[in-house]
């Protein structure tokens, strides 16, 4: 009963969101229609009146036949017109905003080099231009020019961000702490503006500025704890935006940039830098990011109201691979003989996750299958990391037989394919490592020659 109530609440929330979107579209269409009617009325009033009226038909006479109407020729297809509208209405608009910002930047640079404008005036001009772009973007969006308004708003956010950055980094007009706080506020404002305007382009720009902030933090005195806390809060906000607006690209971009940043931090720690946080504390943050990476595909699966989409499955697999790789560089120097048990623990986590999702909803089968596949892959990794000699082959044979049984029991061709792959891997190791190499070494000793090393 509780499950049915929860599903009804989710469907009701989805219907409310769709109703709000339809109301926004209807409001925009009514404004455009009113504008067209006003323009048509003004044009009709401007036409000269000839005073000729059509003659009324005589009583009893047949009404004149209406002129034959020829159907309007159907368009050859919607794709060329859609492509033309996209190029002319969206991409050229964004290119125009970019050209405008670059032109203004070159002009200001020329004025700076000539000494026409001092530092405070430069900052004031940049801030005023950014605010003007934001205002004009919102006004044009309300008038119905949505793509044009989004382009102006994105240009205003970018110009304001780099103006504040120049104010404290180049000109020392603002203290660095105040400047960085303002950059975070601008990033938060960009996300809120994208949600309010339903502007994916502004959201993408907010993502880029959001992940540019930790790089600016690290350019000074690199303290790892504040950077990781900032990244956690940032990913939580992006998860909320992804679920509320159903923008899958925000989650994908956030995952790629987060993994890239964590990879850079891990490499620096491996080289002996950014060690203000111990290996245990850093591993705790990595585990927290793993939970966020698992929550993102779950949100995509929930938001789409259908089986796990392709990008969700890719994120789940990439999250597991990224977490294991980062954890290897973090823990392997300290615990070189226990990484197999770490892989086994991670396999148990994905096994429990798959069982939990499969039990909660019938639509979670694809998510569960992906989690079970990761469990099997981590078990394959566990064997060579923790076992030795023939025990590796035995473990792979046992796993292959188990998968084969599950594939036949569940009538799933994918599981049977995985079982064949694991059995082939075990057979290959049996022939090479367990049979060919000992046989070759034994023949070498029996012939009286020392084995090659």
Residues 6+ apart with CB under 8 A from 11: none
Cα separation values, 158 from 140, 183, 213, Å: 18, 11, 13
Residue 204 tokens, joined: 């993408």
pLDDT at position 226 is 82
Terminal-residue alpha carbon distance, the chain: 68
Walking along the chain (453 residues) 10 residues at a time, the average pLDDT comes out as 66 76 77 69 50 46 46 45 55 64 65 69 84 88 82 83 81 80 88 88 85 72 79 89 83 90 88 82 93 84 66 87 93 90 94 83 74 92 87 89 85 84 87 63 50 43
Burial class (CB in 10 A: 0-12, 13-18, 19+), 47: exposed
pLDDT at position 73 is 44
* CA-based max dimension of the chain: 128
pLDDT at position 426 is 86
State residue 127 phi and psi, 5-degree precision: -65, -40
CA atoms within 13 A on the CB side of 367: 29
145: alpha, beta or left? (left if phi > 0; alpha if psi -120 to 50): beta
The DSSP H or E segment spanning 283 is helix 279-303
Torsion sign across C-alpha atoms 360, 364, 369, 372: negative
Q: From CA 269, how far away is CA 227, in angstroms rounded?
A: 14
Residue 56 tokens, joined: 């009324």
pLDDT at position 63 is 46
pLDDT at position 4 is 65
Residues 6+ apart with CB under 8 A from 433: 392, 393
3-state DSSP helix/strand/coil % of the chain, to nearest 5? 80, 0, 20
pLDDT at position 70 is 44
Nearest CA-CA partner of 127 in 80, 85, 169, 186: 186
């Amino acid at each position: 009963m509780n499950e049915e109530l929860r599903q009804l609440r989710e469907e009701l929330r989805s219907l409310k969101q769709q109703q709000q979107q339809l109301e926004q579209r209807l409001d925009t269409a009514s404004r455009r229609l009113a504008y067209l009617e006003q323009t048509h009325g003004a044009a009709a009033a401007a036409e000269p009146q000839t005073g000729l009226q059509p003659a009324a038909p005589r009583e009893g006479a047949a009404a004149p036949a209406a002129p034959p109407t020829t159907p309007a020729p159907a368009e050859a297809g919607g794709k060329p017109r859609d492509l033309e509208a996209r190029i002319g209405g969206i991409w050229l608009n964004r290119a125009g905003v970019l050209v405008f910002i670059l032109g203004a930047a070159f002009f200001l640079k020329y004025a700076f080099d000539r000494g026409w404008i001092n530092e405070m005036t430069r900052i004031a001009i940049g801030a005023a231009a950014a605010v003007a772009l934001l205002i004009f973007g919102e006004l044009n969006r309300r008038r119905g020019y949505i793509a044009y308004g989004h382009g102006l708003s994105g240009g205003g956010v970018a110009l304001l961000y780099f103006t504040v950055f120049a104010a404290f980094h180049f000109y020392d007009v603002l203290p660095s702490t105040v400047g960085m706080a303002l950059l975070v506020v601008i990033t938060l404002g960009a996300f809120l503006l994208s949600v309010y305007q339903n502007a994916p382009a502004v959201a993408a720009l907010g993502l880029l500025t959001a992940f540019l902030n930790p790089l600016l933090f690290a350019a000074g005195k690199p303290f790892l704890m504040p950077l990781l806390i900032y990244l956690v809060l940032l990913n939580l906000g992006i998860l909320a935006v992804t679920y509320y607006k159903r923008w899958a690209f925000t989650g994908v971009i956030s995952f790629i940039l987060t993994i890239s940043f964590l990879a850079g931090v891990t490499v620096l720690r491996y080289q002996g830098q950014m060690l203000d946080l111990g290996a245990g504390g850093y591993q705790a943050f990595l585990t927290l990011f793993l939970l966020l990476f698992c929550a993102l595909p779950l949100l995509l699966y929930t938001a789409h109201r259908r089986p796990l989409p392709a990008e969700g499955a890719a994120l789940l697999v990439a999250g597991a691979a990224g977490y294991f790789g980062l954890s290897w560089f973090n823990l392997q120097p300290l615990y070189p003989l226990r990484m197999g048990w770490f892989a086994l623990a991670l396999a148990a986590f994905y096994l429990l996750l798959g069982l939990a999702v499969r039990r909660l909803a019938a639509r979670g089968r694809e998510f569960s299958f992906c989690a079970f596949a990761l469990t099997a892959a981590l078990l394959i990794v566990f064997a060579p990391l923790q076992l030795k000699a023939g025990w590796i082959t035995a473990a792979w044979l046992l796993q292959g037989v188990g998968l084969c049984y599950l594939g036949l029991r569940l009538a799933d061709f994918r599981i049977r394919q995985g079982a064949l792959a694991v059995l082939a891997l075990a057979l290959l190791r049996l022939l090479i490592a367990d049979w060919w190499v000992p046989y070759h070494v034994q023949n070498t000793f029996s012939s009286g020659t020392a084995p090659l090393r």
